[in-house]
Amino acid sequence: MLIVFNPTAGPQRRRHLTRALSTLLERGVRAEVALASYRGHAEEIARDAARAGVRVVVAAGGDGTIAEVASGLAGSDTTLGVLPLGTANVLAREVGLPLSPEHAAMVLAEGRSAVLRPGLARFADGHTRLFLQMLGAGFDAAVVANLNLPLKRQIGRGAYVWQTARELSRYAFPEVTAWIDGEPAVATGVVVTKGRLYAGRYTLAPDALPGEEGFHVVLFRWSGPLAAALYSAALPLNLLPRLSGVQIRRARTVRLEGASALVQTDGDPAGALPVEITDAPGPLRMLLKRL
């Protein structure tokens, strides 16, 4: 088992990793740790490990690190494991993984795998991004792109609240056209999701399941800072899917177009529109439950 960890993640996450390693050792599981030191490095480490025949590669970090490791494992027989050490841990919450390092390590030691079906985003400049949970275009991507990372390390989710307030006063809310299985729909923000949850434990697409093919497309119809503030207030109350300004549609393929709209995937900046979204060519196996 290989564990991929970002050494710049902070002392608390290093302590959590140490606790997980101790639990694995107690259960007779030998694990090596590889340090990812720059963006994309986790993907490279995972890809090399899969080629070398490593059976399980573990992403120790947040949703962005998990997506990088998953990208490196795509198309291989290697199973993805997760130690959820991030700020929101959306994927871990989505699939029911425990958040404590010790209990998450027990899943790695004693778990069984299940199939996930990641999404794949193809951008106009030719680069691609695999995502396990979601792709967002519009306001939420602007928040992610401009997030103060040192502040995030200090106060966690509070940094997103702070950045959301800043974006409300300056974001232009350009229109985004979503081509959903070839049919157009216009919105000011779009989230293409594999799962139910968003920004942690909050419900966005109640009927979505991460193991299914295709996507749920969440269209934010209302425009302007007041609308964005209302969306932000409704999210922690789990009322967002019920708002009349929100529409949710099923899709197998999605194309998003729009001037000046940024894109985020699994909570990391990914580029700008246009983007084509399909299921990844093959499924991914992930350790999810204890035997």
What's the pLDDT tens digit per position in 48-67?
A: 999 999 999 999 999 999 99
Query: According to the model, what pLDDT value does residue 74 have?
Result: 94
How far is it, in rounded angstroms, from Cα 168 to Cα 198? 19
The verdict on 163 and 52 lying in the same domain is no
Residue 285's CB is within 10 A of a number of other CB atoms, namely 17
Q: Residues 166, 217: one domain?
A: yes
Asked whether residue 43 falls in the same domain as residue 100, the answer is yes
Instruction: Please compute the mean of the pLDDT values over residues 78-107 and round it to a whole number.
Output: 94
Q: Residue 155's pLDDT is what?
A: 83
Lowest mean pLDDT among 9-23, 117-131, 193-207: 9-23
Band (41; pLDDT cuts 50, 70, 90):
very high
What per-residue confidence (pLDDT) applies to 11? 84
State the pLDDT at residue 290. 56
Contacts of 43 (CB under 8 A, 6+ apart): 68, 69, 71, 72
pLDDT at 260: 78
pLDDT confidence of 152, banded at 50, 70, 90?
confident
Instruction: State whether 110 and 129 are in the same domain.
Output: no
Residue 83, phi then psi, degrees to nearest 5: -110, 105
Pair of tokens at residue 189: 């923000």
Mean pLDDT value across residues 103-123: 94
Residue 210 confidence (pLDDT): 84
Number of domains in the chain: 2
What is the extent of the structural domain holding 82?
2-117+283-290
- Are residues 246 and 161 part of one domain? yes
User: What is the model's pLDDT at position 8?
Assistant: 74
Say if residue 103's pLDDT is above 90.
yes
Residue 56 sits in a domain of what CATH number? 3.40.50.10330
Give the integer Cα–Cα distance in Å for 109 and 86.
21
| pLDDT at 291 exceeding the cut of 80 | no
- pLDDT for 247 beyond 70: yes
113 and 128 in a single domain? The answer is no
Whole-structure pTM value: 0.94
pLDDT per residue as tens digits for the range 187-222: 999 999 999 999 999 999 999 998 899 999 999 999
Pairing of strands 128-131, 119-123: antiparallel
Q: According to the model, what pLDDT value does residue 10 have? A: 75
User: 51 and 192 share a domain?
Assistant: no
DSSP string, 124-150: TTS-EEEESSEEEESHHHHHHHT--HH
- Looking at the structure, do residues 102 and 216 belong to the same domain, yes or no? no
260 and 221 within one domain: yes
Report percent pLDDT > 70 for the chain. Answer: 99
Same domain, 135 and 110: no
Q: Kindly tell me if the per-residue pLDDT of 142 is higher than 60.
A: yes
Q: What is the pLDDT of residue 1?
A: 96
Count, in order, helices (H) and strands (E) of the chain.
9, 20
CATH number of the domain to which 213 belongs: 2.60.200.40
Rounded distance, CA 184 to CA 219, Å?
Answer: 11
